[in-house]
Amino acid sequence: MKTSKLLTLLLLIMTTLTFAQPRFNQKKEQIKALKIAYITDELQLTTEEATKFWPLFNAYEEKQKKFRKERIRSYMDQNDNGDIDKMTEKEASSVLIEIENYEEDAFQNRKKFVASLKTILPATKILKLKKAEEGFNKKLLKQYRDKFSKE
């Protein structure tokens, strides 16, 4: 009897996880598509600019994502090994240095990205890009808050 309940529970959990993953990926793709539309609208890219811009932007975003994952993984690995309060000063300093290195790499990636953009876009559109990215993030966060404040 207990085995059958356990098996049923396990099957239910696996089914839920199986269906949740595609939905999560679908949401990520929807957000990415909305971001592309939002940035395209805000920057008013010409066809020639868009052809050169989007491959650069996508490569930049992927690298930034990689830096975030590495930084979070490093922090979580250290945190999983024990409570921060239990870390020695040397261990804490080491974690801080790793985090600073990832942040520096992300900053250098942004600088290279902007330098590349200067070859294909006027400075005004590069500034509009920064504003559009911030605007999109604010809009997304507001929608998220509104959705969960109603529930």
Q: Convert the pLDDT of each residue in 44-92 to its tens digit.
A: 998 999 999 999 999 999 999 988 888 777 767 666 656 777 878 998 8
Q: Which of 39, 89, 85, 94 is nearest to 61 (CA)?
A: 39
| Cβ(75)–Cβ(95) below 8 Å | yes
The secondary structure element, H or E, covering residue 10 is helix 2-43
Residue with tokens 């909305």: 34
User: Is 0.75 topped by the overall pTM?
Assistant: no
Alpha carbon distance 144, 15 (integer Å): 26
